[in-house]
A and B are shown apart, each in its own frame.
Chain A
């Protein structure tokens, strides 16, 4: 996946001279995850460059650049390192189009490695999607596949609104046989990754792989589970989610962020409102606990795994149980 993101950035830089890639350590080093490896060497230090260590400055500078016709792509080194830029994101990035009555748009991408599962110490494993999803004006996407990492990032750079691009860092080293660019669905579309008839697992980002593994394991229990990859948290493809759950009659939403006031909660509420008469059981959420992200040696307790998903599926009040 890391290579797919690198390829997407390289292709954007090659095709559009308005694109700039910058952040902390993205130049010579190629990023702490090597996502920007080789870009500065190939496209020059004016197009891919290191900034002073200041997230608010990075995002704020991107705002001014986007106002003046550029398409900046900035990197927040880790999910929780983006918080110093939060005011810029909430007060300006998200609102500029609205404040100016549609006159000033900000086509820019804020990339952030997000989520846990890599043994990072504190401040390196947050799932911050709810903060962004809650803020009107931001588009929020999270790829779960190699093809999507490329396709969604290309779409994000071309998107006329600011995009928060959440990269599941534990999938950086995931491998797929795929020739890029592979065809992918656009921003705003969810995808059924695995068809099934008994229940729908809704997931995004790193949790899609967990859901797929759970669906595979569920076959032993005789359950045929559908897996829907949300991909685009904002705008949310309600239609695909609702159609799936109306078909299967049961749903579990899987995400690793704390569950309280979360994207998972929003999706669960939406499905309850719109699928109530088709539901044979309450919609369940399987999320991280409502705790600060734990230390590496304890994170396996926190992260939803196949077992926890299957336990939730088991409570879906099967008629023949």
Chain B
């Protein structure tokens, strides 16, 4: 792994243009000021209660995600490239989903192997031939982006089910503006706080045709024990919609209603943060207490919009990921603007052979894994870990993909020893409505707080930063 590209200092130590103001400021600022702001920020997060739950940790059921006070900055041109690339990618994902649950041209053309779709546990046969309102499947996408040099951004992962993290994007900005007003005065940072407006506009635009002029939107949460509950309540609040649990909803004569103090009220659009499996005990897992009995029948009757649609998991699977550039070309006839990380599909024998021979250099991921769990980071692993992955791979090659260990870009970060470069990624959020695609400039930057670590997941000790898009 070569020397990582630093977003502030490039590879040659010369401060890059978007960072010129910040670098100057960092040079002048006294360390205790930064440290003081850091503690203030933590206090604010704790008081507002911006926490997430970590499963399996009995004592600290509510934890803070560490917040780094040094922003990550993107110039206007960099952002423009990303924005166009994201739009293109998400348009293709929606086309792909409509096709797979419809005419299946992509399979007939041999672009994507059949079994990747049909044997995928997240494929929903219930959605075959099912028309979804306005043909939009992924209304909210979180696309994980990494960067390796000034020009190259890779998509690391498409999140097309219930991507989370947007509350951190918004709260990080809020807290930065409170703590560092002088920095905002010296930069022109594109605003992100209109995200809830854009999200509401998106959700309302996809209401079923039978909905009234002002459709009723709700946010469906699994409840307070869910790790992202804070985000759910935060968003419902900002959107000004009801935060409902399954028990607040019921289905009658093909329509969905919520129980209110004034009696039943019809619901038109459900921004659901509950996984497919738990949505409707009559259609999916019968033991689910989180869902709404009969919801799928109302959905299939076209009387309610689910955002995201049911069955979108077949688009964000790690096995499908490697086909995404072909999928973009197939549907849009355009070259993909955002590249994929080169990926070996272990299901293909020659790829598998290569992967087995180069395990120590590669990152191996479970096709259905998430959250940074169940992966091997070759260069950081010991012999026993490599050996155990070798046997896992041989046993179930289809279950894995492998990628080169990328020299992810770094960004200056406050750590105990002072300011040091740490690896970052970026999750921008792409909203697809009936009228248009909306992306607020920025996203959630996650940062690996341990020196040298590439794992940015919050469940594994990663932190977050505010992401600034400048107007120049």
A pairs with B = no
